[in-house]
DNA sequence: CTGAAAGCGCTTACAG
DNA sequence: CTGAAAGCGCTTACAG
């Protein structure tokens, strides 16, 4: 059971017949080292199975080579997982892990932060905060500790802050609406959730502007983000009462609630009603009918966020916000038959 | 932008007029310290906003107070996310994060490990490996580095290994089959995936045993775990060709494929066919019809796994495997109308 | 009850 | 090209 003691740099030095300094130089590619010496050191390190102690490196360098990820929900807040779609967040998280790895960073998954002390025990060089609310107290926490952050989604309360990555909600919303209009819709309703994440706020604004530009009466149904399972069908039914010929429901749970409400009422999709959801998922791809959706590009979003955070941590000035385009995936739910 | 230099223990000592040793004693509750001195130290630490440098603590103690989590898929392996259900893994992961936090551990999300070197750069005291395959090479990796692991799901190739937590697949499968039989089913088919995770292997075995015990002909349809979206409906159609009156489809994507295939063929659920899925989800709860499902208790599973791993890391002997019961959630898909 | 000293395993000026 | 020494910020015997 007891594993053999792990070799230290001095063990490698001893075997190679050199000093620890030289071993360090060889292993880190610093300084000039004789070719023969280098070979001996590498052979010794390999033979001993040496791997440098990261903790010691960190103490020396002051860098943790670890970034934190803060998702907008915990395990208990089940309902929050459905705000957009579970898959989006899982793919985002796994992509952040892999992108961090490619940057030689480890990824610490942070729990929901309740008190300032909560954050103190985590050793990170910075963090990615997903879906900040305006003036999000979590961001203030990081600021207080002097830890750099990058947000996925904008913090509306800090319009001047350039450290964010976000899917282009405005353009995405327009793409959906243009698509529905091109398919013949004249009364397009927006069925969405009343939450201050920039994706939703900007989507609502874009909808209002688009309907104004097209001389179309805006029909907006807002739901509260709690009591999801039950409220979706209620809200969708309220939307159908207004007799739209198309509905754009950004969150997945509202789109599925809409399908259910339509069915109960004998409204056929797409024949009587065109539908689009705001986030792609397996459900959208393979459901009945398949749902037109926006691909929010979680993989790319993750990579850009990690990229930007690493730049910020390293003090490289080239940072700045990054707007990611969402791509429309037209499917049967918005394709009039015949 | 430049944050003020972080106070060190010696700064606190200076302000409090004591030695670093005493500060350490106070802050860690070691040794005897005069009450007045203690108060001075605490006041000084508070005034300076002192928080100990975890890296230095780690170097000294040799413990990282960090555990790793290795999920059975990466961001790219989209299909794998659907093997069971995305929600299960997201809830499991978030629960592991919170359970780790409660144990004063941080949670490092590990990327898919490809080479032995991949693991070396992560500083963890141990790891939770989810859904190991028999003789999983990832587990060997941890073994080689002398890092303790706990698996979620059993490693069939190491039957003697006691370091696992798993949902009771055998009892869960029986519960589903008993339930379907009680609802009147006589030809119950198993529609599942050909993957060597213990949850599925034990489920198949339990199904075979149950059908044998009940003198019922076993009908098993196995699908390959790749090409998920397309293969689900194909496999489900093949299952329907055998004219079962009930189908147990453990993975969510097969259950939804089955509903689709049934609809195409005019088979009504639950009137003509009873259906149960093996993992609970929002889809199961709110779909049309709502699906009878097993609640795999991801929150509890996560807590037990973290618990067990921490015990193993600390060398406490009380460890041992933990079997978590799955709970049946009967819904309309298996409730004959009338 | 309190503190000086050693040491965890590295890296990096600096000297040779 | 190579190495002795200092130091990153802690904790813990040990001495007083």
Q: What is the pLDDT of residues A128-172, one digit of tens each?
A: 999 999 999 999 989 888 889 999 999 989 888 899 999 999 999
Residue B41's nearest CA partner among B68, B83, B13 is B13
Measure B217 CA to nearest chain A CA, in Å: 32
Superfamily name and number for A66-167+298-324:
Response regulator (3.40.50.2300)
What sign does the CA torsion over B5, B9, B10, B15 have?
A: positive
Residues of A (176-205) whose Cβ lies below 8 Å from B = none
Phi and psi (nearest 5°) for A113?
-90, 125
Q: Which of A132-141, B50-59, B71-80, B109-118 has the weakest average pLDDT? A: B71-80
* Confidence at B6, pLDDT banded by 50, 70, 90: confident
* Cα–Cα distance, A257 to B287 (Å, whole number): 9
- Locate the chain B residue with the closest alpha carbon to A81: B87
Residue B77 confidence (pLDDT) above 70: no
- Do the beta carbons of residue B16 and residue B43 sit within 8 Å? yes
Residue B144's nearest CA partner among A11, A6, A42 is A6
For A103-172, give the secondary structure using H, E and C. CCCEEEECCCCCCHHHHHCCCCCEEEEECCCCCCHHHHHHHHCCCCEEEECCCCCCCCCCCEEEECHHHH
Domains A66-167+298-324 and A169-296+329-334 share a fold: yes
* Confidence at A229, pLDDT banded by 50, 70, 90: low
Domain boundaries defined on chain B:
9-52, 66-167+298-325, 169-296+328-334
The SS3 of residue B7 is coil
Nucleotide nearest to A31 (CA to C1'): D1
- Which pLDDT does position B261 carry in this prediction? 94
Across the range B182-191, mean pLDDT stands at: 96
- Which pLDDT does position B116 carry in this prediction? 75
* Confidence at A2, pLDDT banded by 50, 70, 90: very low
For B36-48, give the secondary structure using H, E and C. HHHHHHHHHHHHH
- Do the beta carbons of residue A204 and residue A174 sit within 8 Å? no
Those nucleotides of strand C lying less than 7 Å from any protein Cβ are 1-5, 7-14
Across the range B57-82, mean pLDDT stands at: 80
Across the range B87-111, mean pLDDT stands at: 93
Q: CA A105, C1' C14: Å apart?
A: 31
CATH of domain A169-296+329-334: 3.40.50.2300
* Confidence at B3, pLDDT banded by 50, 70, 90: low
CATH of domain A9-52: 1.10.260.40
User: Alpha helices, DSSP H only, in chain B?
Assistant: 9-16, 20-28, 35-48, 54-61, 78-81, 86-102, 116-120, 137-144, 169-182, 198-213, 228-241, 252-265, 282-286, 298-313
Q: E strand or H helix at B108, and its extent?
A: strand B106-109
Q: Which of A131-145, A197-211, A219-233, A294-308 has the weakest average pLDDT? A: A219-233
CATH of domain B169-296+328-334: 3.40.50.2300
* Confidence at A173, pLDDT banded by 50, 70, 90: very high
Residues of B (9-28) whose Cβ lies below 8 Å from A = none
Across the range A68-79, mean pLDDT stands at: 79
Q: What is the pLDDT of residues A293-318, one digit of tens each?
A: 999 999 999 999 999 999 998 887 66
- Which pLDDT does position B229 carry in this prediction? 64
Residue B164's nearest CA partner among B322, B318, B297 is B322
- Which pLDDT does position A1 carry in this prediction? 41
Residue A286's nearest CA partner among B124, B224, B258, B37 is B258
Write out chain B residues lying below 8 Å of A256, CB-based: 286-287
Q: Which of A83-92, A315-324, B85-94, B142-151 has the weakest average pLDDT? A: A315-324
- Which pLDDT does position A40 carry in this prediction? 92
- Which pLDDT does position A225 carry in this prediction? 74
Contacts of B151 (CB under 8 A, 6+ apart): B128, B129, B130, B132, B139, B161, B163, B164, B165, B166
Residue A253 confidence (pLDDT) above 70: yes
Q: E strand or H helix at B249, and its extent?
A: strand B246-249
* Cα–Cα distance, A264 to A259 (Å, whole number): 9
Q: CA A53, C1' C9: Å apart?
A: 7
Interface probe, candidates A149, A231, A259, A282, chain B, greatest B C-beta count within 10 A: A282
Q: E strand or H helix at A192, and its extent?
A: strand A188-193
- Which pLDDT does position A51 carry in this prediction? 85
* Cα–Cα distance, A93 to A85 (Å, whole number): 13
- Which pLDDT does position A318 carry in this prediction? 65
Residues of B (268-307) whose Cβ lies below 8 Å from A = 282-283, 285-288, 298-299, 302
Question: What is the bridge-based pairing of β-strands A164-167 and A149-152?
Answer: parallel
Across the range B246-255, mean pLDDT stands at: 94
- Which pLDDT does position B119 carry in this prediction? 83
Across the range A205-227, mean pLDDT stands at: 91
Query: What is the CATH class of B66-167+298-325?
Result: alpha beta
- Which pLDDT does position B5 carry in this prediction? 73
Residue A116 confidence (pLDDT) above 70: yes
* Confidence at B1, pLDDT banded by 50, 70, 90: very low
Residue A328 confidence (pLDDT) above 90: yes
Across the range A46-57, mean pLDDT stands at: 88
* Cα–Cα distance, A152 to B241 (Å, whole number): 48
Q: What is the pLDDT of residues A261-273, one digit of tens each?
A: 999 999 999 999 9
Pick the more confident residue, B337 or A38.
Answer: A38
Q: How many CB atoms lie within 10 A of CB B207?
A: 24
- Do the beta carbons of residue A155 and residue A251 sit within 8 Å? no
Interface probe, candidates B88, B90, B280, B300, chain A, greatest A C-beta count within 10 A: B90
Share of chain B above pLDDT 90, in %: 66
* Cα–Cα distance, B118 to B106 (Å, whole number): 19
What Cα–Cα distance (Å) separates residue B63 from each residue in B120, B181, B317? 15, 53, 19
Q: Which of A227-231, A254-258, A330-334, B279-283 has the weakest average pLDDT? A: A227-231
Across the range B264-281, mean pLDDT stands at: 95
Phi-psi region of A17 (alpha: psi -120 to 50; beta: other; left: phi over 0): left
* Confidence at A231, pLDDT banded by 50, 70, 90: confident
- Which pLDDT does position B123 carry in this prediction? 86
- Which pLDDT does position A207 carry in this prediction? 98
């Amino acid at each position: 059971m007891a594993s053999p003691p792990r070799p230290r740099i001095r063990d490698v030095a001893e075997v190679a017949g050199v000093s620890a300094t030289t071993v360090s130089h060889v292993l880190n590619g610093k300084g000039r080292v004789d070719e023969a010496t280098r070979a001996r050191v590498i052979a010794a390190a390999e033979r001993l199975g040496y791997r440098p102690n990261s903790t010691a490196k960190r103490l020396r360098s002051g860098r943790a080579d670890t970034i934190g990820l803060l998702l907008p929900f915990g395990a208990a807040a089940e309902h929050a997982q459905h705000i957009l779609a579970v898959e989006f967040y899982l793919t985002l998280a796994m992509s952040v892990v892999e992108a961090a790895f490619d940057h030689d960073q480890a990824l610490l998954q942070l729990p929901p932060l309740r008190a300032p002390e909560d954050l103190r025990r985590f050793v990170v060089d910075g963090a990615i905060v997903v879906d900040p609310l305006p003036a999000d107290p979590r961001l203030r926490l990081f600021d207080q500790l002097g830890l750099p952050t990058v947000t996925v989604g904008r913090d509306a309360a800090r319009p001047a802050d350039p450290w964010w990555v976000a899917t282009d909600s405005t353009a995405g919303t327009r793409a959906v609406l243009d698509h529905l209009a091109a398919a013949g819709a004249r009364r397009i309703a927006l069925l969405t959730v009343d939450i201050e994440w920039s994706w939703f706020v900007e989507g609502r604004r874009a909808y209002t502007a688009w309907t104004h530009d097209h001389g179309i009466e805006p029909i907006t149904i807002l739901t509260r983000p709690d009591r999801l399972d039950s409220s979706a069908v209620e809200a969708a039914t309220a939307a159908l009462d207004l007799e739209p010929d198309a509905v754009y429901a950004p969150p997945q749970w509202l789109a599925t609630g809409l399908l259910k409400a339509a069915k109960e009422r004998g409204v056929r999709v797409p024949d009587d009603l065109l539908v689009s959801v705001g986030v792609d998922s397996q459900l959208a791809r393979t459901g009945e009918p398949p749902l037109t959706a926006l691909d929010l590009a979680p993989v790319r979003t993750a990579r850009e966020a990690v990229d930007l955070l690493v730049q910020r941590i390293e003090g490289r000035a080239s940072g700045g916000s990054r707007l990611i385009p969402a791509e429309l995936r037209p499917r049967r739910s918005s394709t009039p038959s015949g």
